[in-house]
């Protein structure tokens, strides 16, 4: 080990990092090898003022999707040199403002693809077969024996699955459909080649075609101005009355008020929703929709995946504060224009 390298590590150990909520220990261990680490001691989201106060004299920030990181917060970090987001999405960060200030921003892509796809199928199956309703029924002591009409649900095998968005997660969901002998339709801004479609077992369709024909519709799009309320009253009314909507993407992609009305009025049969428009708040009446399965944003919540996310986010921050271009950079232009802090 060279003398220069030793000095570099020594300098890094003096840098300070704020982590806005406890993450799996392997990620924190990586940070502690290099920095003085301050972790939010409370198991809750930090308020904006707490983040502003906590960032004073901090060199790095590791934040969560639940932390809105705006220009005011960035300016409060008088020594801030980089922001690592513990999520694949980064719509909680004003990336353009970060770039203006020479702050690299990173995310954690790839590691949660398969786990989120697993969970999309968990929601699909639980909703179709009314598992949550039936479980509650049994726990309440109402089960008094087998009955031919008790909790009749919908078959999954042989049905049509519609995917809106065919990125990494959407493709992983499509692969799993082959085991259920399903017809898979997809809509995406980028159409696959015929060879890619054949390999994945999918057919390109318009969004309208998917809404009208699919028995199950699963959303896999990022949150952009163009995808906000991608599914609203108009789209819900185009779906089959027997259709089920699945959302593991971003809450505001679905007009939640319109969805609640559709569920209560029988416009669609059900929904499996892991993300909400105004988390952690639910639209009025949503919790009373027993034809919906509504877990608390846990699609990536396996021990293995959340640990991988933690180590990736921590490694991203180490790279940034070492003056390297991090592997998972969201705003590479910050380096191209020479603004990044080194």
Is residue 174 a part of any domain in this protein? yes
CATH number (domain holding residue 62)? 3.40.50.720
- Does 84 share its domain with 169? no
Task: Determine the pLDDT at residue 339.
Answer: 60
Percent of residues, the chain, with pLDDT higher than 70: 94
248's tokens: 């593991």
- Does 68 share its domain with 146? no
Active-site residue numbers?
250, 279, 297
Is residue 342 a part of any domain in this protein? no
- Does 220 share its domain with 125? yes
CA 327 to chain centre: 20
- Does 140 share its domain with 220? yes
Helices (H), the chain: 3-13, 25-34, 48-54, 71-76, 95-100, 113-128, 131-139, 168-177, 194-200, 207-213, 233-238, 256-265, 303-321, 333-336
- Does 94 share its domain with 215? no
Question: Once rounded to an integer, what is the mean pLDDT over residues 219-231?
Answer: 96
Q: Bridge-partner residues for 216, per DSSP? A: 161, 244
Distance (Å, whole) CA 160 – CA 185: 7
Task: Determine the pLDDT at residue 84.
Answer: 98
147's tokens: 């009955």
Nearest to 13 by CA among 78, 60, 64: 60
Distance (Å, whole) CA 254 – CA 74: 30
Is pLDDT at 3 greater than 60 in this prediction? no
Question: Once rounded to an integer, what is the mean pLDDT over residues 262-289?
Answer: 97
Percent of residues, the chain, with pLDDT higher than 90: 93
Lowest mean pLDDT among 5-14, 83-92, 136-145, 229-238: 5-14
- Does 62 share its domain with 122? no
Q: Measured between alpha carbons, how far is residue 339 from residues 80, 85, 219, 336 in Å? A: 13, 20, 36, 8
Question: Once rounded to an integer, what is the mean pLDDT over residues 252-272?
Answer: 98
- The pTM for the full model equals 0.87
- Does 205 share its domain with 154? yes
Domain extent at residue 205: 113-293
pLDDT band at 334 (very low <50, low <70, confident <90, very high): very high
The set of residues, in sequence order, having a beta carbon less than 8 Å from that of 158 and lying 6+ positions away, is 180, 181, 182
- Does 203 share its domain with 54? no
Task: Determine the pLDDT at residue 336.
Answer: 84
Is residue 234 a part of any domain in this protein? yes
Nearest to 178 by CA among 269, 250, 117: 117
- Does 104 share its domain with 168? no
Question: Once rounded to an integer, what is the mean pLDDT over residues 156-163?
Answer: 98
- Does 100 share its domain with 129? no
Is residue 74 a part of any domain in this protein? yes
Task: Determine the pLDDT at residue 152.
Answer: 98
- Does 173 share its domain with 253? yes
Distance (Å, whole) CA 315 – CA 329: 12
pLDDT band at 113 (very low <50, low <70, confident <90, very high): very high
Is residue 341 a part of any domain in this protein? no
120's tokens: 């999309």
Burial of 256 from C-beta contacts in 10 A (0-12 / 13-18 / 19+): buried
Is residue 85 a part of any domain in this protein? yes
Q: Phi and psi of 124, rounded to 5°?
A: -60, -50
Domain count, the chain: 2
Is residue 237 a part of any domain in this protein? yes
Distance (Å, whole) CA 81 – CA 58: 9
- Does 34 share its domain with 161? no
Is pLDDT at 212 greater than 90 in this prediction? yes
Q: Which residue has the higher pLDDT, 308 or 338?
A: 308
Q: Measured between alpha carbons, how far is residue 283 from residues 44, 47, 176, 289 in Å? A: 21, 22, 31, 11
């Amino acid at each position: 080990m060279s003398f220069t390298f030793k000095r570099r590590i020594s300098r890094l150990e003096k840098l300070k990092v704020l982590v806005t909520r406890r993450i799996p220990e392997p990620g924190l261990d990586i940070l502690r090898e290099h920095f003085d680490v301050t972790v939010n001691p409370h198991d809750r989201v930090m308020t904006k003022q707490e983040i502003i106060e906590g960032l004073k004299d901090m060199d790095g920030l590791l934040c969560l999707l639940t932390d809105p990181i705006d220009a005011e917060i960035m300016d409060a970090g008088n020594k801030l040199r980089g922001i690592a987001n513990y999520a694949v999405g980064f719509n909680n960060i004003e990336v353009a403002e970060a770039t203006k200030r020479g702050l690299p921003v990173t995310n954690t892509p790839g590691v949660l693809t398969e786990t989120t796809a697993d969970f999309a199928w968990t929601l699909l199956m639980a909703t179709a077969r009314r598992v949550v309703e039936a479980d509650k029924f049994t726990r309440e002591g109402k089960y008094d024996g087998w009955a031919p009409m008790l909790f009749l649900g919908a078959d999954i095998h042989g049905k049509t699955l519609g995917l809106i968005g065919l990125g990494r997660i959407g493709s992983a969901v499509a692969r799993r459909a082959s085991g259920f002998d399903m017809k898979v339709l997809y809509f995406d801004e980028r159409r696959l080649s015929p060879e890619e479609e054949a390999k994945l077992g999918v057919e390109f369709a318009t969004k309208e075609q998917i809404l009208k024909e699919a028995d199950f519709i699963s959303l896999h799009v990022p949150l952009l101005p163009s995808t906000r309320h991608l599914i609203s009253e108009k789209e819900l009314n185009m779906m089959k009355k027997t259709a089920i909507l699945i959302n593991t993407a971003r809450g505001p992609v679905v007009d939640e008020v319109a969805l609640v009305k559709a569920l209560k009025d029988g416009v669609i049969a059900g929904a499996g929703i892991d993300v909400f428009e105004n988390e952690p708040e639910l639209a009025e009446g949503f919790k009373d929709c027993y034809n919906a399965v509504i877990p608390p944003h846990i699609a990536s919540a396996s021990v293995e995946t959340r640990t991988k996310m933690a180590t990736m986010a921590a490694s991203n921050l180490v790279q940034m504060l070492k003056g390297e271009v991090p592997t998972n950079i969201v705003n590479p232009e910050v380096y191209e224009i020479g603004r990044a802090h080194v």
